[in-house]
């Protein structure tokens, strides 16, 4: 039995989890540079039309800027620990199937996403973060070795995973 469920299951989306059951939620949005680039690309698309029509150029620029911002937001993953599950984007795993979460910062993070890259791990890594978390997958039937996530709040995520694991493990014993 694999640890990840099919993304078609809409009943367990982050927005449907109760606020009381949510231990951690982070939308891993990019930093200021990505937002500036998105707006610049959107504006540049409108500039192409300036020789034809200034009104069309302004309208296309506005629509393109809004579209670029929406794409950035939609493309950014959401990390959630709720209801006994850890969700990274559309993937999810039961917290009791994960080992001790390991906070990764500085050289440890760089090594994990560089030389120490695990091809069998499930990665949710974004270049605009400098910290992350790794949790080993304990399910022997799952070929995935670990879950590795970019996060700006690795200590908070690790704490939430530990709390969810403590809550889930006594019930499964």
Q: Which string of DSSP letters, residue by residue, matches the chain?
A: --SPPPTT-GGG-GGGS-GGGEEEEEE----HHHHHHHHHHHHHHHHTTTTT-HHHHHHHHHHHHHHHHHHHHHHS-EEEEETTEEEETTEEEEGGGB---EEEEHHHHHHHHTTT--TTSEEE--TT-SEEEEEEB--TT----EEEEE-S-HHHHHHHHHHHHHHHHHHH-
Per-residue pLDDT, averaged over 8-34, amounts to: 67
Same domain? For 45 and 111 the reply is no
Q: Write down which residue in 15, 41, 75 finishes a domain.
A: 75
Per-residue pLDDT, averaged over 130-140, amounts to: 95
Position 123 in a domain: yes
Position 13 in a domain: no
Same domain? For 54 and 107 the reply is no
Q: Which residues pair with 55 in a beta bridge?
A: none
Same domain? For 54 and 121 the reply is no
Same domain? For 85 and 138 the reply is yes
Same domain? For 119 and 159 the reply is yes
**Residue 11 reports pLDDT greater than 50:** no
Same domain? For 61 and 85 the reply is no
Position 133 in a domain: yes
Range of the domain at 42: 32-75
- Average pLDDT in the chain: 86
- Measured distance CA(88)–CA(92) in Å, rounded: 6
Q: Write down which residue in 50, 75, 100 finishes a domain.
A: 75
Dihedrals φ, ψ of 124, to 5°? Answer: -135, 80
**Residue 25 reports pLDDT greater than 80:** yes
Same domain? For 69 and 111 the reply is no
Per-residue pLDDT, averaged over 8-36, amounts to: 69
Per-residue pLDDT, averaged over 90-99, amounts to: 95
- The total number of structural domains that make up the chain: 2
Same domain? For 100 and 147 the reply is yes
């Amino acid at each position: 039995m694999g640890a990840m469920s099919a993304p078609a299951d809409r009943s367990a989306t982050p927005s449907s989890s109760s606020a009381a059951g949510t231990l951690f939620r982070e939308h891993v949005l990019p930093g200021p540079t990505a937002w500036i680039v998105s707006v610049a690309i959107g504006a540049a698309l409108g500039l192409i039309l300036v020789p034809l029509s200034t009104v069309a150029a302004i309208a296309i620029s506005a629509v393109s800027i809004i579209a670029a911002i929406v794409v950035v937001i939609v493309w950014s993953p959401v990390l959630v620990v709720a209801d006994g599950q850890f969700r990274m984007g559309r993937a999810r795993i039961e917290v009791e199937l994960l080992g001790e979460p390991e906070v990764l910062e500085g050289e440890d993070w760089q090594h994990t996403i560089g030389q120490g890259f695990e091809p069998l791990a499930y990665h949710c890594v974004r270049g605009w973060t400098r910290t992350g978390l790794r949790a080993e997958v304990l399910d022997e039937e799952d070929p995935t070795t670990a879950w590795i996530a970019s996060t700006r709040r690795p200590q908070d995520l690790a704490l939430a995973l530990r709390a969810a694991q403590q809550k889930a493990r006594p019930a499964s014993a």
